[in-house]
Structure 1
Amino acid sequence: MRKKNFAIRYSAGSPAERIFPGIIGELSQTIAPLQALPTNGALSVMVWNIFKQQRANWLNVLKKYGLESQLVLLQEAQTTPELIHFATSNYLAADQVPAIVMPQYSSGVMTLASANPIYCCPLREREPLLRLSKSALVTVYPLDDGRQLMVANIHAVNFSLGVDIYQQQLKPIGEQILQHKGPVILAGDFNAWSRQRLRSLYRFSTLTGLQEVRFSHDWRKKAFGRPLDFIFYRGLQVEEASVLVTQASDHNPLLVRFHANP
């Protein structure tokens, strides 16, 4: 029997808490304004594979650019005391889906947000060759204009023959996006290093009605000439988008500022 997926929620002044999948159809449309993601008409998002914090200067990069963002989507985030302290000191909630669990820390996608999510769906997919897991997380946040924003943070499976497992990992995310009526952000490390994978990803974005964020100066990490990190969106408008060149990880962070009002 397959183990039930869960996320670990970290928040200031509270013990870490296991969060199990919610039911998307039970989301309430009446949310108190004080619980909403503070946008003031603009929503800044940072997306970064942080390489398990193995390189120097990662915390300085997070402090400089993450603190300007209401949402930070990390991949390969390792639950070190330094990262947890940063997250809980500056964000209301940090939700991580453990993909790899080690004696001291776990590693996986982590979403830091300036509001508590009203829905959380952790997902994991096992690498068919290495037998290690990759994780994804779907969360929903109320916006101050009354809408609800769905955010999907993914670290896609890397080593597989063909694209069956790749598409299998995307499928439950797509199902939730199609059910959601409000704006959507889907972002992360998609490991789209082959022509087949890239085609599958673009087919997925078309079927779910998502647009790709484009970068005029594209310094994203590439493999076999193809970018690995992407941001897709729906129901928002892009104001600015850039890629930060840094040695603090083996991936460069993506920074995007959305116009949040409908």
Structure 2
Amino acid sequence: MKKQTYALRYVAGQPVKRIFPPLSSNPLGQLLPEGKLLLESRFLRVMVWNICKQQCANWLSVLQGLSKNVQLLLLQEAQTTPELVRFATSHYLAADQVPAFLFPQHPSGVMTLSAAHSVYCCPLREREPLLRLAKSALVTVYPFYNRQLLMVVNIHAVNFTLGLDVYSKQLDAIGTQIRHHSGAVIMAGDFNTWSRQRMLTLYRFADKMGLVEVRFVNDQRTRAFRRPLDFVFYRNISVREASVLATKASDHNPLMVEFEPTQISSANERWR
């Protein structure tokens, strides 16, 4: 029996809520009412980090220090321990996690922490064919700037596959979401691009979606077989600064990117 896909939403002072994927053929056709803007100053700071299920002793202090003044925090392998949930609900307005598997008793998967409530939330899961473990992704949309809406994709890509079919399938599900959105997009996470074929598949997908890769001057991203695993892609938004932060609090180094909004035509400002 296939496990049901859903997101868990954590908000301070409220019970945990389950959010299921939209059923509409146009997944972005109905949005929740807009609330607080994600961007309330000139720049949007985004941090992306595979937190390795919080297995390192100093993960919390490092997370607290690095995430100051960060409006969007995209975690992979985030295990919903009491410590992480407490951090999320005390520092961010909302935190959405897509459980991929249990390790050992708390769900682990991608988690997006944000300074504003999303107006759209779509959890995605894909099972690895060899180990039968799942990897998750999350698509959220936020009120952003000047009546624009920002789509954010947080992904932990499938890892142990013999070919590219399942890897491509996971990206295709994300592509279905991006194609329905004409505005700003940020797609980031751990893409498990440890082979040339996977790198080419990811770059072809990004090009097809009109996404541009964020470049890092002092590139200390975690690598496998000399290839980086973590990426940030964007569309209809500008990059101001980008850096990789070296740490021993995980087997991945976090990425920090500062964006600023780009003026777009009124036809693309939001969905009708």
Q: TM tier, shorter chain? A: over 0.9
Q: Quote the Cα distance in structure 1 between the aligned partners of 2:30 and 2:114.
A: 18
Pairing 1:9-158 to 2, within 5 Å after superposition:
9-22=9-22, 23=24, 24-28=27-31, 31=34, 34-102=35-103, 104-158=105-159
Give the counterpart letter for 2:28 in structure 1. Answer: G
Which consecutive residues of structure 2, in runs of 5 or more, have no partner in the other structure? 264-272
Instruction: Give 1:225 deviation, angstroms.
Output: 0.6
Counterpart contact for 2:145–2:261, Cα < 8 Å: no
Give the counterpart letter for 2:95 in structure 1. Answer: A
Instruction: Give 1:38 deviation, angstroms.
Output: 2.9
Instruction: Give 1:62 deviation, angstroms.
Output: 1.3
Which consecutive residues of structure 1, in runs of 5 or more, have no partner in the other structure? none
| Secondary structure of residue in 2 paired with 1:104 | coil
| Secondary structure of residue in 2 paired with 1:204 | helix
Deviation digits for residues 45-68 of structure 1 (CA, Å, limit 9, x no counterpart): 000000000002211121112122
Counterpart contact for 2:142–2:150, Cα < 8 Å: yes
Q: Which moved more, 1:99-108 or 1:145-154?
A: 99-108
State the identity as a percent.
Answer: 61
Counterpart contact for 2:8–2:96, Cα < 8 Å: yes
Instruction: Give 1:29 deviation, angstroms.
Output: 9.4
Change (3 A) 1:208 1:244: same
**What TM-score do you get using the length of structure 1 for normalisation?**
0.96
Give the counterpart letter for 2:141 in structure 1. Answer: V
Q: Quote the Cα distance in structure 1 between the aligned partners of 2:71 and 2:140.
A: 14
Counterpart contact for 1:6–1:18, Cα < 8 Å: yes
Change (3 A) 1:250 1:51: same
Instruction: Give 1:261 deviation, angstroms.
Output: 4.1
Q: Quote the Cα distance in structure 2 between the aligned partners of 1:28 and 1:144.
A: 17
Query: Does 2:221 align with 1:220?
Result: yes
Instruction: Give 1:117 deviation, angstroms.
Output: 0.7
Pairing 1:157-196 to 2, within 5 Å after superposition:
157-196=158-197
Number of residue pairs matched by the alignment: 260
Counterpart contact for 1:27–1:118, Cα < 8 Å: no
Change (3 A) 1:150 1:203: same
Instruction: Give 1:260 deviation, angstroms.
Output: 2.0
Q: Which moved more, 1:142-151 or 1:221-230?
A: 142-151
Q: Quote the Cα distance in structure 1 between the aligned partners of 2:76 and 2:104.
A: 19
Give the counterpart letter for 1:79 in structure 2. Answer: T
Instruction: Give 1:7 deviation, angstroms.
Output: 0.3
CA RMSD in angstroms, aligned pairs only: 1.4
Counterpart contact for 1:240–1:257, Cα < 8 Å: yes
Instruction: Give 1:103 deviation, angstroms.
Output: 5.9
| Secondary structure of residue in 2 paired with 1:60 | helix
| Secondary structure of residue in 2 paired with 1:256 | strand
Q: Quote the Cα distance in structure 2 between the aligned partners of 1:66 and 1:2.
A: 36
